[in-house]
Structure 1
Amino acid sequence: MARVTIMIPTQRRLGGLAVAARSVLAQAGVDHSGLELVIVDNDQVPSAEGVARALAAEAPFSIHYVHEPRAGVANARNAGMAKACGEFVAFLDDDEEAPAGWLAALLAAQERYAADVVFGPVRARAPDAVTEHRDYLERFFSRIGPAEAGVIDHYYGCGDSLLRRSSLPDPVAPFAAERNHIGGEDDMLFGHMRAAGAVFAWEPAAWVWEDPVPDRLTLDYTIRRAFAYGQGPSAHCAAAVPPDRAGVARWMAVGVVQAALFGAVAGFKWLIRAGDRAEWLDRAARGLGKTLWWGPFKIRFYGHSA
């Protein structure tokens, strides 16, 4: 049985999948006999099967291909969890590339801090053709955390993380299906784990590259995504059992202030064509999301089958 499962969910990104998977196969400083790679294809047709088979032919450890035709990021992750055999599960996205020491750094941090989840930095890189708002776009898709390794009191997203399977509330299907189309299934899981006393750790040495797909390197995408990120705190309070109505009201009030203040600054910055205008628009969108977080305002980012 594998000690560590590395999981890559994917949907119609064959080139990115190949880069991500080959970076997993090249991991150093770990015992390959205790590893397995699970590729979860979340396309209606098994479009990634050929890539998975070609990778399996060159792999130093087992590669398992899982076809999950039901659209949705939670469905994909849960299908991978059902196949995974590892005591630990490491997540890598299909637009990420891991340096050779990535997995060893995650495992060392998990052991050092007895962590239930370990997170690492993400360094986004935009193509040379992207010139307008380049710095903002690369920061948007990056994950920047503490300079030093250690236990942390908050959590990040699933990409570039290592989970101790025994700490999960459900070791087979821990991701909430209601988040299939809007995302945040990992935030919901980690929020429940934190409430149950899980230990989170950060390891700066466990960093990965991220190469966002070109159609996401636009303000149209990132500002809509910032709005959705802003919805997270309010929606999480509403989803608590019992619902945290005071928390919802508090976050909505914070959002009103942020949207008004940051929106005014963004408007001024746009008028003078300031270099940091996109950052202020992003902040205003996150504030607005805290206020407008319920059903009609939810934005679908995942789960499209076509």
Structure 2
Amino acid sequence: MISIIIPTFNRASSLELAIKSFCLQNFSQEQFEILIIDNGSTENTKNVTEAAVAEFPSNQIRYFYEPEPGLLSGRHRGVLEAKGEILTFVDDDIEADVNWLGAIKESFDDPIVQLLGGRNLPKYEVEPPKWLEWFWLTHVYGTYCAYLSLLDFGNQVREIDANYVWGLNFSIRKSALIELGGFHPDCIAKHLQHFQGDGETGLTQKANQHGYKAVYQPSALVFHMVSKERMTYEYFEQRCFYQGVCDSYSDIRRAKGKFKQVNLVDRLKFPLKFLKKIRLKSTSRETERDALNERFRRAWQNGYQFHQNAVRQTPELLHWVLRKDYWDYKLPTF
């Protein structure tokens, strides 16, 4: 059985579309379940779920209210409630192609496959701005935009680095997830940002270290809603700050709690290094690019330093960062 786990917070309208796309799969309804993990929503999330149960009575849809904030609590609550041997974690603002589950099942028929990611294409709310093209990176297999969790590695099934299995379309054997220790903290509310971790990245890094096989399955296709608010400089700036926090967390764990000097300019993988490679004909666009370059670099650096300072000043926070696992996913009270 495949367990689709959907942590959700105040996105009732997009959640409704996501659930419907899962219920309309070309796949036996007996072979999958849909778990809605409500992370403390104040919208009509439960009503949306109940409406879906009424509309699709043959599907196995279950609702759980999980008030502990953060994506980690939603993911791990889903793991504890899931009946399936294959766990598929998704965002609440995606829509799946009708052959999505069938493709996931087909890949996991190979017992060596432990993780699976798919093609994540955009569903833009409005026409994207021209500058967005700067943030699509080229890979040997295709292209991706990490800021918006978009990835297209072409039409061929292939083995990939597990770090390209992203959280909006993330499938893993339950046994493997448990062996790897589960997820790290992720998507923490702004006022609790010091508890932020590196989400699924810590897990996929460990999967690589263990030699687990990860595959890209192009038919495991989802469409990710990209709202107009996400196609703004402000959103990308926030995303860079968040990435800085995540990278600080990863560095501290990697160094086993020892702080070391980091060249913050070199440490910023994106967009700084990528933007430097772009050659534009328009001087005005070069100026805009360079301004974004500096703005986002500072945002990443601010996030990195924010987290480094917070951990240095609070021994309890260092203990939180260095925890072996987070199955007890309640946030500390200090």
- Segments ≥4 residues shifted beyond 6 Å: 256-266, 268-271
When normalised by structure 1's length, the TM-score is 0.78
Hey, what does 2:173 align to over in structure 1? 164
Rounded Cα–Cα distance in structure 1 between residues aligned with 2:272 and 2:22:
45
Q: Distance in 1 between matches of 2:102 and 2:295?
A: 35
In the superposition, relative to structure 1, how do residues 234 and 272 fare at CA in structure 2: closer, same or farther (>3 Å)? Answer: same
Shift of residue 78, structure 1, vs aligned partner: 1.2
**What one-letter code is carried by the residue in structure 1 that aligns with 2:285?**
R
2:46 maps to: 49
| Residue segments in structure 1 that go unaligned for 5+ positions in a row | none
Give unmatched runs, 5+ long, in structure 2.
137-144, 190-195, 312-330
Structure 1, 51-60 or 149-158: larger mean CA deviation: 149-158
Query: Aligned pair count?
Result: 292
Other-structure match for 2:307: 294
User: d(CA) in 2 for partners of 1:33 and 1:56?
Assistant: 15
User: What is the aligned counterpart of 1:141 among 148, 152, 169?
Assistant: 148
Which residue does the alignment assign to 1:239?
A: 253
Are the structure 2 counterparts of residues 178 and 150 from structure 1 closer, same or farther at C-alpha, using a change threshold of 3 Å?
A: closer
Specify the SS of the correspondent of 1:206: strand
What's 2:314 paired with? none
Q: CA RMSD in A?
A: 3.8
User: In the alignment, is the contact (CA less than 8 A) between 1:10 and 1:94 conserved in 2?
Assistant: yes
1 CA distance for matches of 2:60 and 2:241?
A: 40
Equivalences for residues 1-306 of structure 1 within 5 A: 3-28=1-26, 30-43=27-40, 45=42, 47-59=44-56, 60-112=58-110, 114-128=112-126, 131=129, 133=131, 135=133, 139=145, 140-147=147-154, 148-156=156-164, 157-169=166-178, 174-177=182-185, 180-181=188-189, 182=196, 184-240=198-254, 242-243=256-257, 249=261, 252=264, 254-255=266-267, 272-274=284-286, 277=289, 280=293, 284=297, 288=301, 292=305, 294-296=307-309
Q: Is this contact kept in 2: 1:52–1:65, CA < 8 A?
A: yes
User: More displaced, 216-225 or 234-243?
Assistant: 234-243
Identical aligned residues as a percent: 21
User: What's 2:139 paired with?
Assistant: none
What is the distance in 2 between the residues matched to 1:244 and 1:116?
32
The answer (yes or no) to whether the contact 1:105–1:206 under 8 Å persists in 2 is: yes
Q: 1:113 to 1:297 in 2, by over 3 A?
A: farther
How far residue 208 of structure 1 moved from its aligned partner, in angstroms, is 0.9
Offset, 1:19: 0.4
CA distance in 2, matches of 1:262, 1:88: 36
Residue 205 of structure 1 aligns to a residue in which SS?
A: strand
The 10-residue stretch of structure 1 (161-170 or 135-144) with the greater mean CA deviation from structure 2: 135-144
Residues in 2 aligned to 1:137 and 1:256: alpha-carbon distance in whole angstroms: 14
Counterpart contact for 2:91–2:168, Cα < 8 Å: yes
Return the offset for 1:276: 7.4
Give CA deviations for 1:27-81 in whole Å, capped at 9, x if unaligned: 11x3221111001111255731111011011223210001111111101111111
Task: Check conservation: 2:10, 2:41, Cα contact below 8 A.
Answer: no
Q: Following the alignment from structure 1 to structure 2, what is the Cα–Cα distance between the partners of residues 251 and 37?
A: 44
Q: 1:14 to 1:109 in 2, by over 3 A?
A: same
Cα shift at 1:207: 1.9
Instruction: Report which stretch shifted further, 137-146 or 52-61.
Output: 137-146
CA distance in 2, matches of 1:297, 1:229: 16
Question: Quick one: distance in 1 between partners of 2:276 and 2:222?
Answer: 36
Q: Which residue of 1 aligns with 2:323?
A: none
Greater share of residues in strand: 2
